[in-house]
Amino acid sequence: MTQQKQDFNNDISLSSSHSGERYWGNVEVIEEGENYRISRLEIKPRHGIKAQIHYHRHEHWVVVSGVAKVTCNDEEIFLNRNQSTYVPAASLHKVENPGSIPLIILEIQNGEYLGEDDIERPCE
């Protein structure tokens, strides 16, 4: 099994739903359509989502509470409550919670294909 497939399997719960517990926290799908998905991400303090690339979808992240450290390609920014960022398709990106309280983000995914097999992770 490749490193990418191992990481993918570690991130996804065993249910067929996209919602569920992850090593970094929890994801809850709020609404889903043919070309979009809206999710609530809760990232534990001092945890984060590993760097990844999606080729068929764009993402918008809105911070609801906490502080997000976002890396998109070579740019690193910190976002506070009520701030947001856009992650274009084919961009290497990750989000971390450097704080001591849970980070809550609303994530809007939009694109021609939203399948979980569109996640690629660089070897670490």
Q: What is the pLDDT along the chain (124 residues), one digit of tens a residue?
A: 334 433 443 443 333 357 789 899 999 999 999 999 999 999 999 999 999 999 999 999 999 999 999 999 999 999 999 999 999 999 999 999 999 999 999 999 999 999 888 888 886 5
**Tokens 């517990």, residue?**
21
**Over pLDDT 70: what percentage of the chain?**
85
Which has the closest alpha carbon to 28: 102, 119, 120? 102
Task: Give, as one character, the DSSP assignment of residue 77.
Answer: E
Q: Dihedral, CA atoms, 55, 122, 25, 8, nearest 10 degrees?
A: 70
Query: Could you give the dihedral angle defined by the CA atoms of residues 111, 116, 119 and 121, in that order, rounded to the nearest 10 degrees?
Result: 160
| 3-120 CATH choice from 3.30.1120.130, 2.40.30.10, 2.60.120.10, 1.10.760.10 | 2.60.120.10
DSSP structure class, residue 90: T
Q: How many helices (H) does the chain have, and how many strands (E)?
A: 1, 11
| pTM assigned to the model | 0.81
Amino acid of residue 115: G
